[in-house]
């Protein structure tokens, strides 16, 4: 029997870990599972809704760290997680993605001599101004087992000297969640369409500090959205970080054309992604989901750690300037909506089964 301690903390972690938790539950004689929520995200629509919709067990432990500066948040997670590891003495700690909870828990476990597995290892933007890049690099170099989602991840890890036997290319567990829940999401589409009066529309998400913390950049993006909103409805579920920043811009009545809503549950958001004419985002996960769905995606960033979404998928990078965003959106919309999606290697709904098989060994 292996005791596995799963970490979740921020919104994208739930979609990555839910399928692994479900898959391991099929082997009750092999795995004992403990779920730790760091509390990095805590609003009901950034956390609780995903437990319900993704049918995840309620966390065994909630560290309730809340928000803070990077150092404060990372340190508090470490302080509160250390006794949990000492208490449960797990065989493995599984950490997903690239958020502060990921690196904090990896650091605690590895210093206590507990093996760490990183789900979504090897991604690199090669941009150290991005906090997530630092989290990725540190976590990968601490991990004993590195589960990669795309070939670039394998190459990056080998280039950094990670021994090949630690690298395990499993595919994308976030896509496992999408594959499982797309039918449920589709069932919600007629209701959403009616609620927002949607036919053709652009779906927007934004929360990268490089876009929303700098008010001049955020102003450029909002100006673009208002302009795009004159031509086609724009629906924008606003991340809490972004909500605070938008409030400090003086946009007057001009945002009335935009459909600004609270962060959405996974099923509604997925339905809106699947039916969008275009998605404009800076989210890592949304670049991947739109690629899987074949929905055109503009990523308001100068780089991406997910190059497969550009090479084989529907994603395109665009500078966060009003004129560039409007032009790119017009071009994308002129080309029509969703295309036949390209099936990426191992993005097939079975990544969690491969993670589980490796941990059964």
Quickly count: other Cβ atoms within 10 Å of residue 115's Cβ.
Answer: 16
Residue 289: contacted member of ligand UDP, ligand UD1, none (CB under 5 to 8 Å, by partner type)? ligand UDP
Q: Which of residues 303-342 bind ligand UDP (CB under 6 A)?
A: none
Tell me the Cα Rg of the chain.
Answer: 20
- With beta carbons less than 8 A apart as the criterion, state whether 358 and 170 touch: yes
Q: Which of 237, 296, 307, 313 binds ligand UDP (CB under 6 A)?
A: 237
Query: Does 166 interact with ligand UD1 (rule: CB under 6 A)?
Result: no
Query: Does 270 interact with ligand UDP (rule: CB under 6 A)?
Result: yes
Query: Does 284 interact with ligand UDP (rule: CB under 6 A)?
Result: yes
Q: Select 147 or 269, whichever has its Cβ closest to ligand UDP.
A: 269
* DSSP-assigned states of every residue in 278-301: EEEE--HHHHHHHHHHT--EEE-S
Q: Which of residues 196-235 bind ligand UD1 (CB under 6 A)?
A: 207
Separation CA 122–CA 118 (nearest Å): 9
Residue with tokens 């301690």: 5
Q: Select 44 or 86, whichever has its Cβ closest to ligand UD1.
A: 44
Quickly count: other Cβ atoms within 10 Å of residue 129's Cβ.
Answer: 9
Query: Does 40 interact with ligand UD1 (rule: CB under 6 A)?
Result: yes
- DSSP annotation of 42 reads -
Q: Going by C-beta distance under 8 Å and a sequence separation of 6 or more, which residues neighbour residue 154?
A: 122, 148, 167, 169
207 is catalytic: yes
Convert residues 173-202 into a mask of x (bound to ligand UDP by CB under 6 A) and - (unbound).
Answer: -x----------------------------
Query: Does 224 interact with ligand UDP (rule: CB under 6 A)?
Result: no
- DSSP annotation of 112 reads T
Pick the stretch among 28-36, 63-71, 186-194, 262-270 that binds ligand UDP (CB under 6 A): 262-270
Q: How far is the CB of 212 from ligand UD1 (least distance, A)?
A: 8
Secondary structure (3-state) at 259: strand
Pick the stretch among 10-18, 86-94, 304-312, 320-328 that binds ligand UD1 (CB under 6 A): 10-18
Pick the stretch among 35-43, 251-259, 327-335, 352-360 that binds ligand UD1 (CB under 6 A): 35-43
Which entry of 37, 207, 239, 275 is annotated as an active-site residue?
Answer: 207
* Largest separation between any pair of C-alpha atoms in the chain: 60
Residue with tokens 């059964």: 360
Residue 266: contacted member of ligand UD1, ligand UDP, none (CB under 5 to 8 Å, by partner type)? ligand UDP
Residue 269: contacted member of ligand UDP, ligand UD1, none (CB under 5 to 8 Å, by partner type)? ligand UDP
Q: Going by C-beta distance under 8 Å and a sequence separation of 6 or more, which residues neighbour residue 293?
A: 178, 273, 274, 338, 341
- With beta carbons less than 8 A apart as the criterion, state whether 313 and 239 touch: no
- Compute, in degrees rounded to 10, the torsion defined by CA atoms 285, 286, 289, 294: -150
Convert residues 237-266 into a mask of x (bound to ligand UD1 by CB under 6 A) and - (unbound).
Answer: ---xx-------------------------
Starting at the earlier edge strand, list the strands of the sheet with 278-281: 258-261, 234-237, 202-205, 278-281, 297-299, 315-317
Residues labelled catalytic: 207
Binding site for ligand UDP (CB under 6 A): 11-12, 15, 174, 205, 237, 263-264, 266, 269-270, 283-286, 289
Binding site for ligand UD1 (CB under 6 A): 10-12, 40-43, 46, 67, 98-100, 131-132, 207, 240-241
């Amino acid at each position: 029997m292996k005791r596995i301690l799963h970490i979740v903390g921020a919104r994208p972690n739930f979609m990555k870990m839910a399928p692994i938790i479900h898959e391991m539950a099929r082997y009750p004689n092999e795995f004992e599972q403990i779920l730790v929520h760091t509390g990095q995200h805590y609003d009901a629509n950034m956390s609780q809704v995903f437990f319900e919709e993704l049918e995840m067990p309620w966390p065994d432990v909630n560290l309730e760290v809340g928000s803070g500066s990077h150092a404060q948040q990372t340190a508090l997670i470490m302080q509160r997680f250390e006794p949990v590891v000492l208490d449960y003495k797990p065989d493995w700690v599984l950490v997903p993605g690239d958020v502060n909870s990921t690196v904090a828990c990896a650091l605690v476990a590895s210093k206590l001599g507990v093996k760490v597995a990183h789900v979504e290892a090897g991604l690199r933007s090669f941009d150290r101004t991005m906090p997530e890049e630092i989290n990725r690099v540190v976590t990968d170099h601490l991990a004993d087992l590195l589960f990669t989602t795309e070939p670039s991840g394998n190459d990056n890890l080998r280039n950094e000297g990670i021994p090949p036997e630690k690298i395990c290319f499993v595919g994308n567990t976030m896509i496992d969640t999408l594959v499982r829940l797309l039918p449920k999401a589709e069932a919600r589409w007629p209701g959403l369409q009616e609620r927002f009066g949607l036919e053709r529309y652009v779906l927007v998400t934004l929360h990268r500090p490089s876009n929303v913390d700098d008010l001049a950049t955020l102003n450029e993006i909002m100006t673009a959205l208002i302009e795009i909103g004159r031509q086609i409805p724009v629906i924008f579920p606003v991340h809490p970080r972004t909500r605070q920043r938008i409030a400090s811009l003086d946009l007057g009545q001009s945002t009335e054309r935009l459909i600004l809503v609270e962060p959405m549950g996974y099923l509604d958001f997925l339905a809106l992604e699947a039916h969008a004419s275009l998605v404009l985002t800076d989210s890592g996960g949304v670049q991947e989901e739109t690629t899987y769905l074949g929905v055109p995606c503009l990523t308001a960033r100068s780089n991406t750690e997910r190059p497969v979404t550009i090479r084989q998928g529907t994603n395109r990078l665009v500078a966060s300037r009003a004129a560039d965003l409007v032009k790119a959106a017009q071009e994308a919309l002129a080309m029509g909506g969703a295309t036949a999606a390209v099936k990426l290697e191992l993005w097939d709904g079975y990544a969690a089964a491969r993670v589980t098989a490796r941990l059964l060994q």
